[in-house]
Structure 1
Amino acid sequence: MRERQHGDAGQAFPIYMMMVAGLLFLALAFFAVGKAAALRNDSQGAADAAALAAAQQARDDFGPGFLGSLPGNALDAFLVAPFAPPCAEAQRLAEANDAKSELCYPTPGYLRDKITVEVEGRESVDSPVIPGSQNKKSKAKATALIEFRCPNPIAVDSTGDGVIDLTTFTCRSGDVIKIATAEIGRPGLWESVSRTLFDVRLVDQ
């Protein structure tokens, strides 16, 4: 009987080791999946921040051209003109979130411009149970919309001399903005009106 018990124990030991090895492999695999998901979330956050930063910077950069178009009533021409996306700002925000900007490009459209940023995280999954994971880095993409919220402005020539001296914007939000031609060069004017004139937000690709 004793010899049989020792024999059973000897047979069970390899099975036990296989079970432990299997559980260890599963634990490492679950850890790798969890790390990959976390890195993916981090990269998506970096892409979102980078796209928003680029769009907000683009809105700020619109100021001189937008205000300069008002005296000549050339706003439509300004709104359809192509613009260069501030990709340096996108790169700065991507790096601040431990990623790097791989692509940054605009999709122009009348009253609705978009900036898309694609980023790659700097940290790899690097799991011992997933071949090639030491070089596997998460990627993500985000698109920010720059939308003109105050269409159909009214330009007024109050003196009849053919020069526009006041432009009134009635926005979808109900806000009314009046920009006098004489104030166009006033410091801080664009800063005070840009967030009402243009909405910046993330959108689905």
Structure 2
Amino acid sequence: MGRRTRTDAGQAFPIYVVMVAGLLFLVFAFFAVGKASALRNGAQGAADSAALAAAQQNRKDFGTGFLASLPGNMLEQFLQAHPVYGCPAAHSFAAANQSDVNSCRPMLGGYRDEITVEVQGRKTVDSPVIPGTKTQVAKATATAIVEFRCPGWKALDFNDDGVQDLYIFPCGDAGVVEIAPASPPPWATVSKLLYDVHLVDN
């Protein structure tokens, strides 16, 4: 009886080793999947923040050209043909989120500009059981909109001298904004009423 027990135990040992190895493989595989998902979420967060930062920088940079266009009633021309920048802000925000910008593509659209940013995370999945993961990094794309939300404005020339003295902007839920070109309010204040910045689905 004792000899048979030792034989059975000897036969069971390889099976036990295979089972343990299989369980370890599953553990490492699940860990790799979880890490990949976490890295993907991190990359998407980095892309979102980078795109929003670029759009907000554009809104900030619009100030000089926007206000300069008002006295001569050239606002419509500015809105239809203004520069769209902001990519430096995208790079800095991506870096703060452990990612790098692969591309930053601004698209001028008159009242509605788009900035699409693609980022790549710096950390790899690096799973010991899944081939190719040592160099696999997460990538994500996000698009932010800078939208002028106050069409239908009125420009008033009190002296009939060709120089506009007051602009009245109906801005929907943001309310009515009045800007006197000779003494405009701080751009940091009115820009958030004139322009909406938000993410859109890609």
**If the length of structure 2 is used for normalisation, what is the TM-score?**
0.96
The one-letter code sitting in structure 1 at the alignment partner of 2:21 is A
- Give the secondary structure class of the aligned counterpart of 1:173: helix
Contact 1:169 1:178 in 2 (8 A): yes
Give 1:197's aligned residue. 194
Give 1:24's aligned residue. 24
Q: 2:31 & 2:174 partners in 1: Cα distance?
A: 51
- Give the secondary structure class of the aligned counterpart of 1:31: helix
Contact 2:145 2:200 in 1 (8 A): yes
Give 2:14's aligned residue. 14
How is 1:107-186 mapped onto 2 (pairs within 5 angstroms)? 107-173=107-173, 175-184=175-184
Greater displacement, 45-54 / 159-168: 159-168
Q: 1:107 & 1:190 partners in 2: Cα distance?
A: 23
Greater displacement, 173-182 / 55-64: 173-182
Report the alpha carbon displacement of residue 128 of structure 1 after superposing the two structures with TM. Answer: 0.4
Q: 2:150 & 2:53 partners in 1: Cα distance?
A: 22
The one-letter code sitting in structure 1 at the alignment partner of 2:61 is D
Q: 2:48 & 2:197 partners in 1: Cα distance?
A: 12
Give 1:44's aligned residue. 44
- Give the secondary structure class of the aligned counterpart of 2:93: helix
Give 1:61's aligned residue. 61
Q: 2:154 & 2:2 partners in 1: Cα distance?
A: 102
1:68-98 deviations in whole A, cap 9, x for unaligned? 1111212121111152322111100000111
1:150-192 deviations in whole A, cap 9, x for unaligned? 11110011122222111110111151111112114xxx62112
- Give the secondary structure class of the aligned counterpart of 2:173: coil
The one-letter code sitting in structure 1 at the alignment partner of 2:16 is Y
RMSD (CA atoms):
1.2
Q: 1:45 & 1:81 partners in 2: Cα distance?
A: 31
The 3 A distance-change label for structure 1 pair 174 and 200 is closer
Q: 2:119 & 2:168 partners in 1: Cα distance?
A: 40
Contact 2:66 2:75 in 1 (8 A): yes
Structure 2: 5+ residue stretches without partners: none
Give 1:91's aligned residue. 91
Percent of residue pairs identical:
58
**If the length of structure 1 is used for normalisation, what is the TM-score?**
0.95
The one-letter code sitting in structure 2 at the alignment partner of 1:195 is K
Q: 2:23 & 2:51 partners in 1: Cα distance?
A: 42
